[in-house]
Amino acid sequence: MVNTDSLPGSAELPALEVISSSSYGEVFAGKLLILIVSLLICIGIVIVYSSGAGWAVTKYSNSEYFLWRQLTFAVLGIGTVVLVAMIDYHVFWKTSKIILFTGIVLLTILLAMKAVGLISGAARWIGFGPLKFQVSDFAKYAIIFHFSRLISEKQAYIKDLNNSYYPLLTLLMIVVALVALEPNFSTASLIAVIGFTLMFIGGVNIRHLLATASLLIPIAGVFAIAAPYRVARLLSFTSGDEKGLSYQVVQALIGLGNGGLFGLGIGASKQRELYLPLSYNDFVFVIIGEEYGFIGAVAVIALFAGFFVCGLIIAKHAPDNFGKYVASGITIAITLFAFINIAVACHLLPTTGVALPFISYGGTALLFNSLGVGILMSISRHKKNVQEKGVLFEVTGGKNL
């Protein structure tokens, strides 16, 4: 035990005051983050059941099919958060090369299976039976981990073109190209945004980023219009006539309009009754707006805004650069996917297949996002442990207890 009689006076505790003031905001952010994620997961369970019951009866002859699966993955997700939060996040520093290499290999295997005809259509999932996951989710976190490590290691020469920028850009473009060829253009674009954002935060020369963007944006534009279905989505988005809008967009706007200010009430959505495709997944935000109204929709947006702020606070107070970049990458990834999903539902962006984190139906996406939250908590917890050791060092005058 610490002998309180030997504690220095208040005038001798400047370090304790600094530690207390610097940690209070982060501790609060960590606790608030857990509350926000718990609320989002609970909202997801309710909304998936409400929006997917009709589709579940049609597809699986069981109105509770989506409910029990979502509930199961919600429990596993919470368990993932708790488990990963207790792990030192530096384990992802040590394994980042292996994780990225694994992601590239899995993406390559998917394309090879598609090339030989073992997969028809989009090659996005790998696994057997119910044990399947979307490889792009894995690749997204692989980029975050390894970029955070490389940017941390290259800080002394981060603005160097050959030794810093080109290696980072090459790795990013390999992953982005493989995801785009699945094809999954929207996720590939978002991974690119996450990678470039991390490089910007890490101090890469802005001129290099702008020069690359000026080359990649036209290439991405050509790739986007190379597929007829993507052209149809763009034409639908830019159409000023309701007749030119896609069926999904029209039904989504009807649903949001039906909700009004306070909504129709839980389980009272009209669009969920087989009118709005993927009402439990890509367009789940429409059901939120229809059943809970403008107020409910704004509340969900506020939760994601709170998640963003909490994540940035944790990143700001991370104990090292690796923790700062990982926390920034995870925070940006989750909130960016949420923003895109909500913007698509509100017809602010062209239709894409991006799910709403923690809320949309989907087990592996929920688990990967829970992994991200667990890592954020690990970074916050690691900082707290370092600060507690600092307090004990000050209290005991550097003596062992």
The two three-digit tokens of residue 105, written as one number = 């290999």
Q: Output the CA–CA distances (angstroms, integers) from residue 44 to 39, 68, 147, 230, in the order listed.
A: 8, 12, 31, 28
pLDDT at res. 64: 86
Which residues, listed in sequence order, are joined to residue 128 by a DSSP beta bridge?
131
> What pLDDT score was predicted for residue 130?
65
The three-state DSSP-derived secondary structure of 158-170 is CCCHHHHHHHHHH
Q: Are 280 and 304 in contact (CB under 8 A)?
A: no
Q: What is the pLDDT of residue 147?
A: 97
CA distance 52 to 280: 5
What is the per-residue pLDDT for 308?
97
Angle between helices 96-115 and 166-180 in degrees, nearest 10: 40
| Phi, psi (deg, nearest 5) at residue 7 | -65, 140
Cα 360 to Cα 283: distance, rounded to the nearest angstrom: 8
pLDDT of res. 333? 97
As a whole number of angstroms, the longest Cα–Cα distance in the chain is: 80
Per-residue confidence in pLDDT tens, the chain, 401 aa: 344 343 333 333 333 343 444 456 677 888 999 999 999 999 999 999 988 888 888 888 888 888 999 999 999 999 999 999 999 999 999 999 999 999 999 999 999 998 888 887 777 888 776 678 889 999 999 999 999 999 999 999 999 999 999 999 999 999 999 999 988 888 999 999 999 999 999 999 999 999 999 999 999 888 888 888 788 888 777 776 666 677 888 888 899 999 999 999 888 888 877 788 878 888 999 999 999 999 999 999 999 999 999 999 999 999 999 999 999 999 999 999 999 999 999 988 888 878 999 999 988 899 999 999 999 999 998 765 555 454 433 444 444 44
- What is the pLDDT, as a whole number, of residue 240? 63
DSSP 9: P
- Asked if 125 contacts 135 with a C-beta cutoff of 8 angstroms, the reply is yes
Q: Let me know if 306 is exposed, middle or buried by CB neighbors in 10 A (0-12, 13-18, 19+).
A: middle
* pLDDT value of residue 15: 38
pLDDT for 239? 72
